[in-house]
């Protein structure tokens, strides 16, 4: 699975947002997604690991998950060339409003 598919799943985006605040144990992340079972969250975390979006380190019995800095950069690199499309569009709108 690539990073685009990883990020397409809403629960995984939720996990990313939680890890953006601070690193958390697998158990904390399981508790944060009450609609899912523990194995379901564990498998989402595996996907995030394998796509380079998060990293884990063991802390005794626990696993501490943290957001990896450059994981999402590949998505951002892809979107960057297109950013001018809506920026130009906004500029055109602003200009139109200013001319009123």
Partner DNA sequence: CACTTATATACGTGCTGAGTTATAAAACTG
Partner DNA sequence: CAGTTTTATAACTCAGCACGTATATAAGTG
The nearer residue to DNA, 40 or 93, going by C-beta atoms, is 40
Using CA atoms, how far apart are residues 23 and 25, in angstroms rounded to an integer? 7
Query: Which of 5, 31, 37, 50 forms a contact with a copy of itself (CB under 8 A)?
Result: 5
Structural element, H or E, at residue 25: strand 24-25
Binding partner of residue 60 among a copy of itself, DNA, none, CB under 5 to 8 Å per kind?
DNA
Q: Is 26:63 a contact under the CB 8 Å cutoff? A: yes
Write the DSSP assignment of 38-96 as a string of letters: HHHHHHHHHHHHHTTSEEEEEETTEEEEEE-TTTTHHHHHHHHHHHHHHHHHHHHHHHH
The nearer residue to DNA, 34 or 97, going by C-beta atoms, is 34
Binding partner of residue 38 among DNA, a copy of itself, none, CB under 5 to 8 Å per kind?
DNA
Using the contact rule CB under 8 A, the part of the chain among 13-21, 29-37, 38-46, 54-62 near a copy of itself is: 13-21
Lookup: tokens for 10: 């809403």
Binding partner of residue 73 among a copy of itself, DNA, none, CB under 5 to 8 Å per kind?
a copy of itself
Binding mask 17-46 for DNA (x = CB under 7 A): --------xxx--x----xxxxxx-xxxxx
């Amino acid at each position: 699975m690539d990073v685009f598919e990883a990020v397409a799943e809403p629960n995984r985006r939720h996990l990313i947002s939680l890890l953006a605040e601070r690193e958390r144990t697998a158990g904390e992340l399981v508790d944060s997604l009450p609609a899912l079972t523990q194995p379901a969250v564990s498998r989402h975390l595996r996907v995030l690991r394998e796509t380079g979006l998060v990293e884990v380190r063991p802390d005794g019995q626990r696993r501490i998950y943290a957001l990896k800095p450059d994981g999402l950069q590949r998505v951002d690199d892809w979107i960057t060339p297109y950013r001018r499309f809506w920026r130009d569009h906004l500029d055109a709108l602003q200009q139109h409003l200013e001319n009123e």
